[in-house]
Structure 1
Amino acid sequence: MKLFSFPAASLEKAIHKRVLTLPSPHKEWFTERWAQKPYKKAFVENKAMPLVTLVAKGKTWDDATFAEAMQDWDVTFYEAEAEVLRPLIQGDGLLQLMQKNLPPERVQALLDKLTLRRDAIAAASTTSPEAPASQGQ
């Protein structure tokens, strides 16, 4: 979904700023992955930038176009990722002008997308062999 060109460096700076205020254990989880260049690149390109596009274009698109873009954006969010991205939807300084006229139902649709995916991961992780590692061992 490359319909909007937003400076990746500005987006990375906003993400880094948000990470500083994340509560534990989200901060540790995200910081560890953010330090890895492949993860950082994939997160910006596949999760953060499409979210910015949906926020920016979502106020002018018709309902069908917005719904199609939401459906095409098939990504899975971990809880820490959702915590990082939520302010980009709700009103972080970086995007306030873009968020200003975004219809409330579209804001809610974006927030639901973060939550829906996060809930699916939580359900799957209870049966995952990685689950014990998150208990601080």
Structure 2
Amino acid sequence: MKLFSFPLASLEKAIHKRVLTLPSPHREWFTERWAQKPYKKAFVENKAMPLVTLVAKGKTLDDAAFAELLQEWEVTFYDAEEEVLRPLIQGDGLLQLMQKNLPPARAEALLAKLTQRRLPADATAASAPTPSPQAAEPTID
């Protein structure tokens, strides 16, 4: 059962507004992906909307329920995605009233979730297998 429904158009408008102010490398990365419908839909449904829901529910839920919802939200954020979503927690623009009564500890927990298990900017280099030290050193007989 969904207890909270946030207008999708307002969320997309807030994301678009934030993209306009992103620093250069993040703006190009995010804009390129945001133009693709599958990415846009997945980003909104799996990352942005759950974050907004956690912000909204974070004001009224007890600590155990909030921690459980945060634990269940299994996502990985790229640097540019973190930059886009950070104002949704910290209070910016259209969503300021939502963050108004959010306890600081919960805001910090959400910010920590954004930075936790984040993929590096060049995920291809990170996924390449690294040779073992023994294989890299030539042996002398």
TM tier, smaller:
0.7 to 0.9
Distance in structure 1 (CA, Å) of the matches to 2:122 and 2:16 = 28
Return closer, same or farther for 1:2/1:77 CA change in 2, 3 Å cut-off: farther
Greater Cα offset, 92-101 or 79-88: 92-101
Give 5+ residue unaligned stretches, structure 1: 130-137
Aligned residue number for residue 120 of structure 2: 122
- TM-score, normalised to structure 1's length? 0.87
Q: Does 1:108 align with 2:108?
A: yes
1:132 alignment counterpart: none
Query: Which residue of structure 1 lines up, in the alignment, with residue 131 of structure 2?
Result: none
Alpha-carbon displacement from aligned partner over 1:95-137 (angstroms, at most 9, x marks no partner) = 111101100000000000001132xx129834235xxxxxxxx
| Partner of residue 41, structure 2 | 41
Rg larger in structure: 2
Q: Match of 1:122, SS? A: coil
Matches within 5 A, 1:28-107: 28-107=28-107
Distance in 2 between residues matched to 1:45 and 1:27, nearest whole Å: 20
Give the number of equivalent residue pairs: 127
Separation of aligned partners in 1, 2:69 and 2:112: 15
2:139 aligned partner: none
SS at match of 1:25: helix
Following the alignment from structure 1 to structure 2, what is the Cα–Cα distance between the partners of residues 88 and 72? Answer: 20
Unaligned runs of 5+ in 2: 129-141
Percent of pairs with identical residues: 83
TM-score, scaled to structure 2? 0.85
CA RMSD of aligned residues (A): 1.7
Contact 1:2 1:50 (C-alpha < 8 Å) held by counterparts: no
Equivalent-residue separation in structure 1 for 2:67 and 2:13 (angstroms) = 29
